[in-house]
């Protein structure tokens, strides 16, 4: 969502994560992005990246970003090609861990530019890194599968356990962060930010 507007910020966030955590595997990257966005919505009502997360077998996944990073497929928005190739590279691991997670590594290409991040966001990102940097991709998947998480609630309400047991690893159901907006001020913050980005994208 809003990649025309948020691409530079997302690219620099990936640069920051890749500089702080080495090696930074693709699956771990996607889980950290989710934790950053979910925590931000819980605390202030607004996500950092505005990515859309689908409910897949291995947890919440931003589908378009996954395809872009895993398969090197560039996305087009309003006939404009949007890419992260100026910020990062995605490399095949030479000695990958022998499991289904860790085959691709995110590496930074440029220095981190904090111009689009406020102090809260930097502090939040650092907190998420500190809490999760030593967890494996598999452990992060387990963490996001815990009972009561937004992912778990969708799996239960949409009966996705059966689909995932049949070796279908993906679904089209998405995480709805607005479920976390239990306070009026956070709801207002979310709506205001959403409307502002929508207007900016329309003018892009």
pLDDT in tens, 114-162: 999 999 999 999 999 999 999 999 999 999 999 999 999 999 999 999 8
Structure token pair of residue 51: 């990515």
Global pTM? Answer: 0.93
Mean pLDDT score across all residues of the chain? 90
The reported pLDDT for the residue numbered 184 is 87
Angle between helices 26-44 and 63-71 (to 10 degrees): 160
Spatial distance between the Cα atoms of 200 and 180, rounded to a whole number of angstroms: 25
pLDDT in tens, 90-100: 998 876 555 55
Cis peptide before 123 (omega within 30 of 0): no
Spatial distance between the Cα atoms of 18 and 155, rounded to a whole number of angstroms: 30
pLDDT in tens, 51-101: 999 999 999 999 999 999 988 776 665 556 788 999 999 998 876 555 556
Total Cβ atoms within 10 A of residue 40: 21
Q: Does the pLDDT at position 199 exceed 90?
A: no
Q: Does the pLDDT at position 2 exceed 90?
A: no
Contact, 61 vs 144, CB < 8 A? Answer: no
The reported pLDDT for the residue numbered 80 is 67
Quickly list DSSP for 17-34.
HHHHSSSEEHHHHHHHHH
**In degrees to the nearest 10, what's the CA dihedral of 180, 197, 175, 179?**
20
């Amino acid at each position: 969502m809003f990649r025309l507007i948020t691409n530079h910020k997302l690219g620099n966030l990936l640069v920051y994560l890749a500089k702080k955590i080495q090696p930074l595997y693709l699956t771990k990257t996607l889980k950290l992005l989710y934790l950053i966005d979910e925590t931000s919505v819980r605390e202030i009502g607004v996500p950092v990246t505005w990515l859309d997360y689908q409910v897949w077998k291995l947890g919440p996944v931003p589908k378009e970003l996954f395809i872009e990073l895993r398969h090197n497929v560039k996305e087009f928005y309003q006939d404009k090609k949007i890419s992260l190739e100026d910020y990062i590279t995605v490399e095949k691991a030479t000695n990958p861990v022998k499991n289904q997670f860790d085959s691709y590594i995110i590496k930074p290409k440029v220095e981190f530019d904090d111009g689009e991040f406020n102090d809260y966001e930097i502090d939040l990102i650092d907190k998420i890194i500190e809490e999760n940097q030593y967890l494996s991709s598999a452990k992060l998947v387990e963490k996001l599968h815990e009972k009561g998480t937004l992912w778990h609630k969708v799996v239960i309400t949409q009966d996705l356990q059966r689909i995932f047991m049949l070796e279908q690893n993906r679904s089209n159901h998405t995480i709805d962060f607005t479920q976390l907006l239990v306070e009026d001020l956070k709801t207002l913050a979310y709506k205001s930010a959403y409307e502002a980005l929508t207007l900016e994208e329309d003018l892009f």
